[in-house]
Structure 1
Amino acid sequence: MKRSLLLVVCVLLTACAAPAKRDMSAFMAASPRSILVVPVVNKTLDVDAPNYVLSSLPVPIAEKGYYVFPVNTTKFVLEQEGLYEGERVREMPAPALAKLFDADAILYVTIERWDARYVVLSTTVTVDFEYKMVSRDGTVLWEARQAMQWAPQNDSSGHPLAVLIGAVVKAAMARAAPNYMPLTQQANLRAIVLGPTAIPDGPYRPKTAK
């Protein structure tokens, strides 16, 4: 009994332990005010994924209090420089890229997963992103990785055949037209704003009244 109680206490202590504190000294030293979000690198087969992800990034960064260069304007300017793909943008030295826009920091994002997989009677939609922010001289300021999954919930009440048909229909709909944007927005929110990897508040974030 005592041994079981001790085991439970140990588990609770482990679960309640505070996450390791991240070293943000480089970020604080650089003290960026403006962040350039460049076209993302896409490691998936969905050719539309980069534009969806790119359009979702400015809001959480702005919410943290930073100026974000308009992503469509950024994309246009880079295309004029012959940089059409995220991979090509990565090849450009950070100082040259930052100087082109007079940016304090650059955010690179890689799409690791963006898919909907059918298993039995359910379709699981998954997004997985890798984030990396560097200063205008190329120093790494912040890194994070965030994955999110969603599967339609099936109603277990009612006639078994109706429940089965409903599950099949929901899975087929999710597979045919998966909605990635809510997951993408949640992933960005957890990585940048709310989660343990969140970046520090920027200079333009309103101060909350005490």
Structure 2
Amino acid sequence: MRKLIVLVLLAGVVAGCVPKQITKMEAFPNMYQNMPVTVLVLPPINNTTAADASDCLTTTLTSALGRVGFYTYPAMAISDILKSEGISSTEMLLNVPPAKFRQYFGADAVMYVTVDQWDTSYYVIGGHVTVGITYALKSTATGETLWKYRNVLQVDTSGQNSGGGLAGLIVQAVATAVKTATQDYVPVANQLNVISLNTVPFGKYHPEHGKDQNVMTVFEKNARFDESAPAKK
């Protein structure tokens, strides 16, 4: 009997460690009520020390949105237009009402993206690359948030151990250092976009549009995060 109680308690602890998943409708009811067709993606806000993070991420966002059924404006063209108007960063647009993007571009929604992590970590026999992004999609008709998600992807760049002993460790360390230093962030960011945007209620041009309300692909902690708190790995 005592063993049974211990097993039940352990099962409860393990279950408590598993991230809770909820349906798309539970997480984003506003999206189903105000389903946008066209989305304008603003240049990402870069909160990291990687100078190229914003440009690298921009190249992956519109295609990822297209895969989940939305029409998107060419991201680089939007960036050039904003720069021509003297707007050099998205931070300058945070206080601009979303309705302005409907007025000037005809967009149904505008996406704000923040790069929280764009890091390379290397240690003696291991390493990894981490990309963390916060997304927010707002209606240009009502100004309300339709969808928001915060996610982190970590890719292991550890080299394969080619043998035992000190010699094997040295080879592994060198392989890890090379792989970590040459890791291309764009595929990592693209993979994170695909994973995160799969939680968005599918748009008009997706075959599952209007049929995915009960799909459980949303991690509750990623969708209902404290916006004032920093992103966690």
Distance 1:176 1:14 in 2: 37
Residues 79 and 16 (structure 1), Cα distance of their counterparts in 2 relative to 1, 3 Å cut: closer
Q: Tell me the equivalent position of 1:162.
A: 167
Residues 156 and 171 (structure 1), Cα distance of their counterparts in 2 relative to 1, 3 Å cut: closer
**Are 1:42 and 2:43 counterparts?**
no
Identity of aligned residues (%): 28
Distance 1:103 1:139 in 2: 14
TM-score normalized by structure 1? 0.86
Q: Deviations over 1:115-137 (max 9, x none)?
A: 11222332221111000110003
CA shift, 1:82, in A, is: 1.4
**Are 1:141 and 2:141 counterparts?**
no
CA shift, 1:175, in A, is: 4.2
Higher relative contact order (CA 8 A, sep 6+): 2
Alignment of 1:2-151 (within 5 A): 2-11=4-13, 14=16, 19-21=21-23, 22-136=26-140, 137-151=142-156
Distance 2:19 2:113 in 1: 30
Distance 1:98 1:50 in 2: 24
Residues 5 and 127 (structure 1), Cα distance of their counterparts in 2 relative to 1, 3 Å cut: same
Distance 1:155 1:123 in 2: 12
SS in 2 for 1:133: strand
SS in 2 for 1:57: helix
Runs of at least 5 residues in structure 1 that lack an aligned partner in the other structure: none
Alignment of 1:178-193 (within 5 A): 178-193=183-198
Runs of at least 5 residues in structure 2 that lack an aligned partner in the other structure: 210-233
TM-score normalized by structure 2? 0.78
Distance 1:53 1:9 in 2: 40
Q: How many residues align?
A: 204
**Are 1:172 and 2:177 counterparts?**
yes
Q: Deviations over 1:52-91 (max 9, x none)?
A: 1011111221111110111111112212221121212323
C-alpha contact (below 8 Å) 2:160/2:175 kept by paired residues: no
Larger CA deviation: 56-65 vs 7-16: 7-16
Distance 1:203 1:59 in 2: 15
> What RMSD, in angstroms, separates the aligned Cα atoms of the two structures?
2.3
